[in-house]
Amino acid sequence: MSADPWDILLTFTRLGLVSFGGANLPEIERVLVEQKGWITPQVLAGGFALGQVMPGPNMLAMTHYGFAAGGWWGAAAATAGFYGPTALLSAAAMLAWQRLSRWRWLPPLRSALLPFGAGVLLAGALVLGRSSLHSWPAAVIAVAAFVLLQRTRVNAAVVVLGAAGLGALLGL
C-alpha cells in the first residue's frame, strides 16, 4: 500500500502552495482521502491532533500523513514537499518586500485574501468536526476545549493532552 514518493512529493508541494495560514484541511481531505486514498478520515483527524501536541508548527501532521502513505520515504517526501517550496517562496518574498510595500494593489490583495483564508479555516473546522464528532461526549470535549482556550491563557497542548486522557477514560 506504499505510494510512490515522487507522487507524494508533488502532491504535498501542491498542498503547501495552496494553503494560506497553515491548515487547509478541506483540500487535504479532498486530495489525500478522497482522490488518492492514501489515508483514512481517522488518520486525518488523528494526525491533526498529534500535530497539536508536537513542538513546532502544528501542520507537522503532514509528516504523519506522508508516513501513512509511503513509510519513511513518504514522510520525507511529504515534509520536503509541503515545507520546502513555500519556505523558498517566503525567503524570496522577503527579499522583494521593499519594492512591493509601495505597490497600490497590495492592500486590496490583502483584503481579498483575508475572507478566503477565513472561509478555508471554517470549512476545515467542518471537515475535522465530521471526522471526530461522533458522540455527545466528543462534542462536549470540543466545546469545552474551545471555551477553555477562549477564556483562559492555558497552553493548547495541555488542553489537547487533557482531552486525550478524557477520551481514553470515556472510551470514545
Contacts to other proteins from residues 75-134, by CB under 8 A: 75, 79, 82-83, 85-95, 97, 101, 104-105, 107-129, 131-133
Cell 481517522 sits on residue: 42
DSSP reduced 3-state for 155: coil
Residue 12 interacts with other proteins (CB under 8 A)? Answer: no
Nearer to other proteins, 6 or 35 (CB): 35
Rounded distance between C-alpha atoms, residue 90 and residue 95, angstroms? 9
Q: Each residue of 9-42: b (16+ CB within 10 Å) or e?
A: bebbbebbeebeeebbbbbbbebbbeeeebbebe
Minimum CB distance to other proteins, residue 11 (Å):
13
Task: Tell me the closest approach of the beta carbon of residue 67 to other proteins, in angstroms.
Answer: 4
CB of 74 to other proteins, least distance (A): 10
Do 141 and 163 form a contact (C-beta atoms < 8 A)? yes
Task: Quote the least distance from Cβ 24 to other proteins, whole Å.
Answer: 7
* Residue from 2, 10, 37, 146 binding other proteins (CB under 8 A): 146
Which position among 1, 99, 102, 168 is part of the footprint of other proteins (CB under 8 A)?
168
Contacts of 12 (CB under 8 A, 6+ apart): 62, 66, 77, 78, 79, 80, 81, 82
Q: Which is nearer to other proteins, 5 or 26 (CB)?
A: 26
Q: Taking CB under 8 A as the criterion, which residues in 32-51 touch other proteins?
A: 43, 45-46, 48-51
